[in-house]
Chain A
Amino acid sequence: MPAGVYRIGLPMHHLIEVRNIKQYFTTRKFLFRQPLWIRAVDDVSFHIKEGETLGLVGESGCGKTTIGLLILRLLQPTEGNIVFQDRNIFNLPRNELLRFRRDVQIVFQDPYSSLNPRKTVEQVLSRPYRIHGIAKKKVDVREMVESILDDVGLTPPEFFLNKYPHEMSGGQRQRVAIARAIALKPKLIIADEAVSSLDVSIRAQILNLMKDVQKRYKLAYLFITHDLATLRSVSHRVAVLYLGKLVEVGTTEEILKNPLHPYTKSLLASVPVADPVYSRQREPIVLSGDMPSPISPPSGCRFHTRCPFVKEICISEEPVMVDCENNHSVACTLYSEELPI
């Protein structure tokens, strides 16, 4: 097999590498007006290893969902590329593209809109097998559908085959969405706020399922969320996004116990904790102002307009991501002076 342009000769120890991805959107314009650029993702790089869960955390407008869509190849990046198992996913030939689709899947936030309201569970779950030619006869397909329903805890499977989305609860729908994602035994699943719409008591159920499935299928997750509490029990590493840029990356433990970036600190301080004693005595870090618009992000460090520690230099210079100890990196001028020798 000739080494095509899409193969990159690096050793494969990262399942996926996102390299300097930029995604700019334009707004529709009238003929003679300048189009506006929405800088949804602005030079983001990270990697995920096999079987690992990376949490991608940020608030609305930070670009996390866009990154998910880029990895799924549902969008073409303005710049940069993504390497999955040593191959640049944006240069794949046709036959490899179909193979790629089996390897990367997604679970969306809203279990109601992520399932076709006019299709039964069986119809939805048959598609992955049919598209990829894994099973052709109705009997075989049904067998596989029932098996996957079992895997996600929807038992007895026969009971759910004929159900429509509106006949099921939010938790059940999300299980179907997960079943659809794991049907093809992917290597990476993007969970885009997968439990955010669910009730508190159901969240735990679904997260348990996802962890369970991860062990069994040896999956990696990109867990996109705005809720740090969810990540605590689910992800190995965490990357914090603000307005299209990564501000901090590290292990979950490091990030939660020792947050470095002021934004990360304020995120942590703002997460409500279900303990009245702790909650009322902890230091609040309330940010001033609103999230700036991604159309005209602030100059220099994008966080400077709301940062409690802002300095002169933050307004003019964009901070670079610096490695600190314990596999912990941060992009903030507070730390760039303390470069480890």
Chain B
Amino acid sequence: MTGEVSQIGHYWRLYRKDKVAVIALLYIILIILAGIFAPVITKFPPLLTGAGPSFASPNAQHFMGTDDLGRDIFSGVIYGARVSMGVGFAAAVGSSLIGLFIGTIAAYYGRTYDMILMRITEIFFVIPMVFLAILLVAFFGSSVWNVIFVIIILSWPRTARLVRGQVLALKQRDFVKASKALGERDFYIMFREILPNTLAPIIVNGSIEVARAIVVEAGLSFLGLGSTDLTSWGIMLYKSQRFLVQQIWWTFSFPGVALFSTVLSLNVIADTLNTILNPRIRKRVVRQ
């Protein structure tokens, strides 16, 4: 146990060296906290029409102004963080789990299993996202769960391919052969021996997936396929599309900046994680 803890400590020390990455991490934590403590931070429910006068520009009462129906933009951004981040993480976790499972099975058993599962993966790769989203909305109505579902369906192949590659390489290693020789069962070998060795790329991939999911959610919402009874940054952008031409900048700028900075921070985190978790070439002491 002590070994694991000191490993995490070691990685944190390496991570700390990159100041930009630390800022990015703090920012994400801030956003998450803001979402969690939303009711404390702002007194206006985000969808309450007439919380203030329509199109009020940012002022002391409404830090980010109000939209056409008098809804407080600041509340929208804070509560929207819940949905955007929530969808982002839920979709990333869901697609990672599925991709992990399928990728491992395909790689470990190989041959026919691999072929069938990889063909299925490819089919999912080519499904056009918007089309699927529209279909789902048509049949099941627009909701946050539909959005999460769509993102999971379309994202798991990426993780599956990544994991498959990792497992293919690892299953040739001697410690896997040694486990088989001991009589270890397949599922134990797959998920307790091999998988822990692929954590690094999965974590990096996971952080990228969160960023992607947030963007996809925003995109779908922007097209009007998002939830109708919740608000997210994408939904706010959807609602303020019409005001782009007019000078009512606060209706789309704030959600836009929130979206942009969050995704950017997540990408920075993913990139830094990649540098420190993958073979740390430049950090290695040269051996004889």
B182 on the interface (CB 8 Å rule)? yes
Name B's interface SS: helix
Q: How far is the CA of A163 from the CA of B196 in the complex (A)?
A: 17
Among B14-22, B64-72, B146-154, B171-179, the stretch that binds chain A is B171-179
Is A105's CB under 8 angstroms from B181's CB? Answer: yes
Contact of A180 among B1, B182, B183, B197 (CB under 8 A): B182
A101 on the interface (CB 8 Å rule)? yes
Is A128's CB under 8 angstroms from B182's CB? Answer: yes
Q: How far is the CA of A184 from the CA of B179 in the complex (A)?
A: 13
B122 on the interface (CB 8 Å rule)? no
A69 on the interface (CB 8 Å rule)? yes
Q: Given A110-B174, A163-B3, A116 and B181 touching (CB < 8 A)?
A: no
Across chains A and B, the number of contacting residue pairs, with CB separation under 8 Å, is 59
Is B179's CB under 8 angstroms from A114's CB? Answer: no
Q: How far is the CA of A98 from the CA of B182 in the complex (A)?
A: 9
- Taking CB atoms, residues of chain A closer than 8 Å to B174 are 108-110, 113-114
How far apart are A59's CB and chain B's nearest CB, in angstroms?
Answer: 20
Is B197's CB under 8 angstroms from A108's CB? Answer: no
Is B183's CB under 8 angstroms from A101's CB? Answer: yes
Q: How far is the CA of A116 from the CA of B179 in the complex (A)?
A: 10
Is B175's CB under 8 angstroms from A162's CB? Answer: no
Is A108's CB under 8 angstroms from B3's CB? Answer: no
Contact of B196 among A106, A118, A127 (CB under 8 A): A118
Is A127's CB under 8 angstroms from B182's CB? Answer: yes
Q: How far is the CA of A72 from the CA of B183 in the complex (A)?
A: 11
- Taking CB atoms, residues of chain A closer than 8 Å to B186 are none
* Chain B interface size, under 10 / 10 to 19 / 20 to 34 / 35 or more: 10 to 19
Which chain B residues in 158-196 approach chain A with CB under 8 Å? 173-175, 177-185, 193, 196
- Taking CB atoms, residues of chain B closer than 8 Å to A162 are 1-3
Q: How far is the CA of A106 from the CA of B177 in the complex (A)?
A: 9
Is B178's CB under 8 angstroms from A164's CB? Answer: no
Contact of B182 among A110, A113, A118, A131 (CB under 8 A): A131
Is A101's CB under 8 angstroms from B197's CB? Answer: no
- Taking CB atoms, residues of chain B closer than 8 Å to A113 are 173-175
Which of B173, B174, B185 is the most central at the interface, judged by chain A CB atoms within 10 Å of its CB?
B174
- Taking CB atoms, residues of chain B closer than 8 Å to A104 are 181
Q: Given A101-B181, A132-B183, A116 and B175 touching (CB < 8 A)?
A: yes
- Taking CB atoms, residues of chain B closer than 8 Å to A119 are 193, 196
Is B182's CB under 8 angstroms from A101's CB? Answer: yes
Contact of B197 among A105, A117, A164 (CB under 8 A): A117
- Residue of A whose beta carbon sits closest to that of B1: A162
Contact of A131 among B178, B184, B193, B197 (CB under 8 A): B184
A115 on the interface (CB 8 Å rule)? yes
Is A69's CB under 8 angstroms from B177's CB? Answer: yes
A120 on the interface (CB 8 Å rule)? yes
Q: Given A110-B174, A113-B173, A116-B193, A127 and B181 touching (CB < 8 A)?
A: no
- Residue of B whose beta carbon sits closest to that of A69: B177
Q: How far is the CA of A120 from the CA of B1 in the complex (A)?
A: 9
Interface string of B192-204 (1 = CB under 8 A from A): 0100110000000
How far apart are B179's CB and chain A's nearest CB, in angstroms?
Answer: 7
- Residue of B whose beta carbon sits closest to that of A120: B3
A74 on the interface (CB 8 Å rule)? yes
Q: Given A118-B197, A162-B3, A127 and B179 touching (CB < 8 A)?
A: yes
Is B197's CB under 8 angstroms from A116's CB? Answer: yes
Residues in A lying within 8 Å of B, measured CB to CB: 69, 72, 74, 97-98, 101-102, 104-106, 108-110, 113-120, 127-128, 131-132, 162-164, 167, 177, 180, 184
* 5 A–B contacts from the bound complex (CB under 8 Å): A101-B182, A106-B178, A109-B174, A114-B174, A118-B196
